[in-house]
Structure 1
Amino acid sequence: MKRSAKFLTSVMLTATLLVPAMGVGAANGETAQQQGNETFRVLVDSANQNELKNAKGKYGVHREFNSEGFTTTMNAKQFEALQKNKNLSVEKVPEFSIEETSSKPEAAYSAMAASQSVPWGIKAIYNDSALTKPTGGAGINIAVLDTGVNVNHTDLKNNVEQCKDFTTTTTVVNNSCVDRQGHGTHVAGSALADGGTGTGVYGVAPSADLWAYKVLGDDGSGYSDDIAAAIRHVADQATALNTKVVINMSLGSSGESSLITNAVNYAYSKGVLVIAAAGNSGPYQGSIGYPGALQNAVAVAALENVIQNGTYRVADYSSRGYSSTDGDYVINKGDVEISAPGSSVYSTWYTGGYSSISGTSMATPHVAGLAAKIWATNTSASNTQLRAELQKRAKAYDILSGSGAAVGDDYASGFGFARVR
């Protein structure tokens, strides 16, 4: 159900006040970085609860992960000193970033172009070149974990149910998810934009509800502990509110984060379907980023608006899996699962206007929207059954064009292009 003026409130994540980080410039003009005082996020854990308690008291807590330890911010000298403590394990928390081919849109527009009311990707996923108004998704929530969302955008404001910021120091900030980068607003539009007053742009599932979770900063990057906290929060909200949720993560990293892996597994076990970008490091094999590479996440490859060999073409930039697993129709770690429109995608922009962007980031919300649309027609289905339905639909439209694309399950396009019909 839509709530345009009232966001649902939830329990904030528990955390203690963070000790101020060192970083004051030296009197002689040296910067904090030159002094080795630049700060970064770390994960601290120990089997010795007294040692862990002491560490929390000394360094402060940013995020608490119980059995996985806690995260905090410190400088290089503190990190080196902590590594010498044999009773503690400490590691740097990896950063993740948006998955698009450029930090800037290919084109930005202050007003919606009438010809783009239903962008090519929406028409393609509906398999209807004459489509004028997409439908569906009512009662299903799409959690967009990204740079935030302009929740006042004409084409999105009617769908907003939650708006939260996970990038602050210690707690979740409710009713705050400002997007100053654009990526998150664009992603949300492709998933569920409702056309505003009838003169705006549409997404795949315009009746779905939006949970806008800011997990990345204005530069498009963020720490894995904040992302993991948001994923777990989604799962807990899904349980508490007894509702169906699809997570969209158009973000990634070449390295795996145990915090995010465990969070994805937790969400999946709670009935949440996780959709993630494959990454933009193609056409090389083994280039799927995380969390897309995880088995409990649906990795989405990007298609171009080009028909070749009778099908849409996988973009060269789209990350690939491994040819050794071609044809098995089994999702292994590092596999592409589904393909969707990702190149020159027209959608909502953080300025209140519109833009065109390319990347697997743009392909991912097409699948998230489709998942919401399908789930809305059968809310008794589990997330695993929904995933199987997406795979079934992908098999029905095999992708035969693009580097690595071949008949059946392949390392470039996965099972194929899942569509409405």
Structure 2
Amino acid sequence: MAIMGGRSTNANPRQGLFLVFLMLLLPFASQVQANIDPIEAQEPTHAPPILIEGLPPLLCGDELCERPLRMYDRQGRDAELEYGWWQAYGPDLDWNGMDDRLQRVLDGMDSASPTAILGPDGRKTVAIVVDYAWHPAEAEITALSETLAEHGWIGPESGAWFEVLRSIDSIVVDKVPVSALMDIYHLEGVVVIEMQNVMAPLNNVASKAALARPSAEYGNTANELGYYGTGVVIAVMDTGVDNEHRSLNDFDDVDDAPDEDSTSYNDQKWVAGFDATSPNPNSDGTTDPDDGNGHGTHVAGSALGTGDASREHRGTAPGAALVDIKVLTDGGGTNSQASLAGIQWMINNKDTDWGVNSTYRGIQVASMSYGSVGTPLNSGDQGDNGTSAEASLINQATEEGIICVVAIGNDGSNRVPSPGSADGAITVGSVNDKNTI
């Protein structure tokens, strides 16, 4: 019998045994609890939309779309570009991964694509670049193709563009029904949908002097210092080049009557070509694109023309060879899909042996006297911030050792066009014959 608080109670042996057992278990239970990880809080995947004055918001049905944070886990999948580059993409003022220009199209404005057709939804189709968090593989290609087909996309067999770019994590498509945009936007791995830029040739008044050849007016010219471009291959990316021109067909300008066969000269300047504006281009380098505009031939003459037998109007590097990459149609305004295809082909062939002679192989310099133009879809457009697909490809080309020289400023507006916006480009502003920028 035990005495507790002045009252007598009978001790319960089972209760005592239970207390002893509980005391023995407490240290073990504490250790087990310490080894159990707390349930991790789910990371948010979306945030409230950012509303920008003058920019139609992105709608999911009748509701405002939540803004995806786009923090994808690559899970070891291959990628060409640095993780998170898409967070800086522009034009994307509301930071949701949908190009602002496409949001205006979704809101009712017309497409700016030169290749637009009337889609099944009754709207003019758009040309886009679909950017992924990783390099698109079979799963991404299939998902995108099936989504497009669900909206009546005509497909490559009927003239639509569909190209997976090798050097960046993107798929280029045109003739896309507007109704397909939101379904593409929600595909796994998609981080940005770009509207393809419209590219146009840039040229005004050619400079009278480039400090290349000897002159009574100035000294220390490139030629006097021994720089003629010998052994260098320049890719002129433009409207094509009429390389049968006397200043462009060969090096010595002897017996150089124009001949449409670029290989008919024993010292030909043309070594390869590629027509990126063609829906089914020949990629082996044997294509010799024509120039129905004249701009590309002018640019080629400025870069590497010999000046014909007179040597009067000579280019900066008369000893350089020519690779003719047509990225602009004869009409000028062209979707950036052709530029992207041309730049990618150039990267693929940076070390190619053209089989002409041992002096000229690969591509060392790219000349791009063109750039993106503004559209009503982006009023007050300040141009590109260096994140467009073209700019990304130029950066990749630079990393591969190709010097990319790009024009800017000839349109007279205060904007930075793509691809001149690329960090890796040598971007050259225009100066007219009155020394006015």
TM range (shorter): 0.5 to 0.7
The answer to whether the 8 Å contact 2:121/2:178 transfers is: no
Once the 2 structures are TM-superposed, how far is the Cα of residue 281 of structure 1 from its aligned partner?
4.8
Match of 1:175 in 2: 287
Q: 1:120 aligns with which of 190, 193, 208?
A: 208
Match of 1:96 in 2: 199
Q: 1:148 aligns with which of 206, 222, 240?
A: 240
Match of 2:422 in 1: 294
Once the 2 structures are TM-superposed, how far is the Cα of residue 182 of structure 1 from its aligned partner?
0.9
Where 2:141 maps in the other structure, the secondary structure is helix
Q: CA 1:289 to 1:44, structure 2 compared with 1: closer, same or farther past 3 Å?
A: closer
C-alpha deviations, 1:61-110, integer Å up to 9, x for none?
52212562322222434434634644374432222211124xxx99xxxx
AA paired with 1:271?
G
Q: 1:44 aligns with which of 118, 130, 134?
A: 130
CA distance in 1, matches of 2:404, 2:241: 19
Match of 1:250 in 2: 369
AA paired with 1:98?
P
AA paired with 2:273?
C
Alignment of 1:382-397 (within 5 A): none
Where 2:209 maps in the other structure, the secondary structure is helix
Alignment of 1:278-317 (within 5 A): 278-282=408-412, 284=414, 287-305=415-433, 313=435, 315-316=436-437
Q: CA 1:249 to 1:52, structure 2 compared with 1: closer, same or farther past 3 Å?
A: same
| Structure-1-length-normalised TM-score | 0.54
CA distance in 2, matches of 1:33, 1:138: 51
Where 2:324 maps in the other structure, the secondary structure is strand
Q: 1:161 aligns with which of 271, 274, 278?
A: 271
AA paired with 1:79?
A
AA paired with 2:174?
T
More relative contact order in 1 or in 2 (CA 8 Å, sep 6+)? Answer: 1
CA distance in 2, matches of 1:218, 1:162: 20
Where 1:120 maps in the other structure, the secondary structure is coil
CA distance in 1, matches of 2:428, 2:132: 37
CA distance in 2, matches of 1:258, 1:76: 22
Once the 2 structures are TM-superposed, how far is the Cα of residue 145 of structure 1 from its aligned partner?
0.5
Match of 1:73 in 2: 174
The answer to whether the 8 Å contact 1:36/1:77 transfers is: no
Alignment of 1:295-374 (within 5 A): 295-305=423-433, 313=435, 315-316=436-437
Once the 2 structures are TM-superposed, how far is the Cα of residue 56 of structure 1 from its aligned partner?
2.8
Where 1:152 maps in the other structure, the secondary structure is coil
The answer to whether the 8 Å contact 2:162/2:173 transfers is: yes
CA distance in 2, matches of 1:231, 1:84: 26
Matched residues, percent identical?
24
- Is 1:210 the counterpart of 2:322? The answer is yes
Where 1:240 maps in the other structure, the secondary structure is coil
AA paired with 2:299?
V
Where 2:343 maps in the other structure, the secondary structure is helix
Q: How many residues align?
A: 261
CA distance in 2, matches of 1:244, 1:34: 43
The answer to whether the 8 Å contact 1:52/1:88 transfers is: no
Match of 2:145 in 1: 56
AA paired with 2:175?
M
Once the 2 structures are TM-superposed, how far is the Cα of residue 230 of structure 1 from its aligned partner?
1.7
Once the 2 structures are TM-superposed, how far is the Cα of residue 277 of structure 1 from its aligned partner?
0.8
Q: 1:263 aligns with which of 381, 385, 393?
A: 393
C-alpha deviations, 1:250-274, integer Å up to 9, x for none?
1112335632122111111111111
CA distance in 1, matches of 2:208, 2:185: 56
The answer to whether the 8 Å contact 2:143/2:187 transfers is: no
The answer to whether the 8 Å contact 1:224/1:257 transfers is: no
- Is 1:228 the counterpart of 2:340? The answer is yes
C-alpha deviations, 1:395-415, integer Å up to 9, x for none?
xxxxxxxxxxxxxxxxxxxxx
> After the TM superposition, which of the residue ranges 166-175 and 244-253 deviates more from structure 2?
166-175
AA paired with 1:121?
A
> After the TM superposition, which of the residue ranges 297-306 and 72-81 deviates more from structure 2?
72-81
CA distance in 1, matches of 2:421, 2:178: 34
CA distance in 1, matches of 2:185, 2:230: 54
CA distance in 2, matches of 1:84, 1:203: 47
CA distance in 1, matches of 2:118, 2:325: 31
C-alpha deviations, 1:303-342, integer Å up to 9, x for none?
3445xxxxxx3x23xxxxxxxxxxxxxxxxxxxxxxxxxx
The answer to whether the 8 Å contact 2:274/2:342 transfers is: no
- Please tell me the root mean square deviation across aligned C-alpha atoms, in Å: 3.4
Unmatched 5+ residue regions in structure 2? Answer: 1-116, 150-154, 251-268, 354-360, 373-382
The answer to whether the 8 Å contact 1:63/1:170 transfers is: no
| Structure-2-length-normalised TM-score | 0.52
The answer to whether the 8 Å contact 1:62/1:170 transfers is: no
Q: CA 1:125 to 1:201, structure 2 compared with 1: closer, same or farther past 3 Å?
A: closer
Where 1:303 maps in the other structure, the secondary structure is coil
Where 1:239 maps in the other structure, the secondary structure is coil
CA distance in 2, matches of 1:258, 1:138: 34
CA distance in 1, matches of 2:391, 2:236: 18
Q: CA 1:244 to 1:217, structure 2 compared with 1: closer, same or farther past 3 Å?
A: closer
CA distance in 1, matches of 2:407, 2:132: 33
Once the 2 structures are TM-superposed, how far is the Cα of residue 206 of structure 1 from its aligned partner?
1.1
Unmatched 5+ residue regions in structure 1? Answer: 1-30, 107-118, 307-312, 317-421
The answer to whether the 8 Å contact 2:230/2:320 transfers is: yes
